[in-house]
Amino acid sequence: MQKPAPPDAADSVETVDVKALNTRVTGALYKKREKIFPRRVRGTFRSLKWSVMAVTLAIYYLTPWLRWDRGPGAPDQAILIDMPARRFYFFFIEIWPQEIYYITGILVIAALALFLFTSVAGRVWCGYTCPQTVWVDLFLIIERFIEGDRNARIRLENDRWTLSKISKRLAKHAIWLIIAAMTGGAWVFYFADAPTLLVDLFTLHADEIAYITVGVLTATTYALGGLAREQVCTYMCPWPRIQSAMIDEESLIISYQKQRGEPRGKGGQRDALGDCVNCNQCVVVCPMGIDIRDGMQLECISCALCVDACNGVMDKVGKPRGLIGYNTLANLDKGAELQRSQIRLLRPRTILYGVLIAVVAAIMLAALLTRPALELNVQRDRNPLFVKLSNGDIRNGYTVKILNKVHQIRHFRLTLDGLPDPEIKVIGRQDHAPLFAVNPDQLASFRVLISTAKANLLSETTDIRLRIIDRDSGVTAENETVFRGPGQ
């Protein structure tokens, strides 16, 4: 694939006069923000990033519109966070508030996955999938479309405020705001029935909180994605500061082959020079405005656009690709290019993260698959502990709560173990019979009074077990509690 290049090929590459943003400065304790005008670049990684962007945006925008039939009376949105009803729906899974630990589990898995990916391939999350990166890319497309590529944008920036400049800027910010509003707008669909909410939003019938949320997210998307851009990654995000703990000498990071590139320089006489023609293309395409040739840096989000830029230049000057590319710190020390066979994916660190993810996922899955669709909670009265009746019997009061997680009404009978000759009385029922009806997907609470003769109680506390039995399916749920008395 390597074509013989003309001897003056290196000189034909355009050299851009640019300095990395994070070049060591002396003097000031505060730094004015330097604007970055990333140049458009084509290549493998840019294409990959376009695909990732398309997929992630599609997931974000389309997910709330997926439907999932849960039967009559239940929401048919596949993923729905129903705050007023305190339910979270995820396809076939329905989470009640007390099961919020499943969300904790997902967050633990997400954190561990982030660690795993970082130890394998550096800040891939930052470079490819982080919403900040994706939306900045999206906003840059608009900026390029309206204002042109790097040079045109720099010219426009330095231009006086002509009518053309004003109209371009207005158009850019207007489209940014529309995208920002659509971003915020899509978010609220996760919290209510999407088709209904869409109509409500436009007919001004939606809840106040929906408009507030859309407004806040519009503002943050516009400010962070459009205006702040790289400042978010460098100064606001904690991840760049944590990442060095996750990366080891075997992690894949974007790096420059110093031994091959140096001494960098122009000129046809390449014998005394390295492969780097010092064209600064890697700097001008960088959305963070840094020079990858300075080594691993806090600012680098590993977006790999400098790889594409340099590969393009290397093709032009007839040198092999990979002067800038993924490499490991261990390999860089040896001054060698990375061979595919050298990549060690299985290392103690990655194995540990992988095992931890598997363990947490297995626990979560087991808990999810074995969780009951019926639960019984019993709260014993603590004041009074027990009541003596006029015939000398002892009575205890209990609040019985039944969680019916099935989307149909269920009928239960209450039975009791561990107490001789109990009399069970349910408050609020004419016949006091221990029969309960619990509505679909609801928690129901009942007052139950249990009494027995004092002679049946051998000590101050007697262990008892309450059980409910589904009249139709025979499914049971149990709860252990105690029956208190005055003692013998």
Partner 1 sequence: MSDKQIDDVSGMETTGHEWDGIRELNSPLPRWWLWTYYATIIWAVAYWIAMPAWPLLSDYTRGLLGHSQRAQLSNQIAAVKAGQADLIARTAKASLTEIQADPELLEFALAGGRSAFAVNCSQCHGSGASGGKGYPNLNDDDWLWGGTVAQIHASIQYGIRADHDETRFNEMPAFGRDEILNPQQVDAVADYVMALSQNPGLADSLPGKPLFNDQCVACHGVGGKGDKELGAPNLSDAIWLHEGGKPVVVDIITNSRSGVMPAWVGRLDQVAIKQLAVYVHSLGGGK
Q: Which amino acid is residue 16, in one-letter code? A: V
Q: Shortest Cβ distance from residue 455 to partner 1 (Å)?
A: 12
Q: Which helix (H) or strand (E) covers residue 89, if one does?
A: strand 87-90
> Which range in 20-28, 124-132, 285-293, 301-309 contacts partner 1 by CB under 8 A?
20-28
Site for partner 1 in 431-460 (CB under 8 A): 447, 449
Beta strands per DSSP E along 218-373? 252-256, 324-328
CA angle 25, 26, 31 (to 5 degrees): 60
Single out the residue of 435, 433, 439 nearest to residue 412, CA to CA. 435
If binding is defined by CB under 8 A, does position 488 make contact with partner 1?
no
Cβ burial, residue 254 (10 Å; 0-12/13-18/19+): buried
Single out the residue of 136, 120, 106 nearest to residue 237, CA to CA. 136
Q: Shortest Cβ distance from residue 281 to partner 1 (Å)?
A: 25
If binding is defined by CB under 8 A, does position 487 make contact with partner 1?
no
288 three-state secondary structure = coil
If binding is defined by CB under 8 A, does position 429 make contact with partner 1?
no
> Which range in 28-36, 105-113, 165-173, 239-247 contacts partner 1 by CB under 8 A?
28-36
Q: Which amino acid is residue 21, in one-letter code? A: L
Q: Shortest Cβ distance from residue 349 to partner 1 (Å)?
A: 27
CB-CB contact of 124 with 117 (8 Å): yes
Q: Which x/- pattern over 351-390 shows residues binding partner 1 (rule: CB under 8 A)?
A: ------------------------------xxxx--xxxx
Q: Which x/- pattern over 33-72 shows residues binding partner 1 (rule: CB under 8 A)?
A: x---------------------------------------
Single out the residue of 124, 120, 126, 106 nearest to residue 237, CA to CA. 126
Single out the residue of 377, 389, 383, 375 nearest to residue 450, CA to CA. 389
Q: How far apart are CA 286 and CA 282, in angstroms?
A: 6
> By CB under 8 A, how many residues form the interface with partner 1?
28
> Which range in 19-27, 44-52, 136-144, 363-371 contacts partner 1 by CB under 8 A?
19-27
Candidates 226, 287, 397, 485; binder of partner 1 (CB under 8 A) is 397
Sign of CA dihedral 144, 148, 151, 154: negative
- Please identify, using beta-carbon distances, which residue of 428 and 474 lies nearer to partner 1: 428
- Please identify, using beta-carbon distances, which residue of 31 and 42 lies nearer to partner 1: 31
Q: Which x/- pattern over 219-238 shows residues binding partner 1 (rule: CB under 8 A)?
A: ------------x---x---
Binding positions for partner 1, rule: CB under 8 A: 24-33, 231, 235, 381-384, 387-392, 395, 397, 427-428, 447, 449
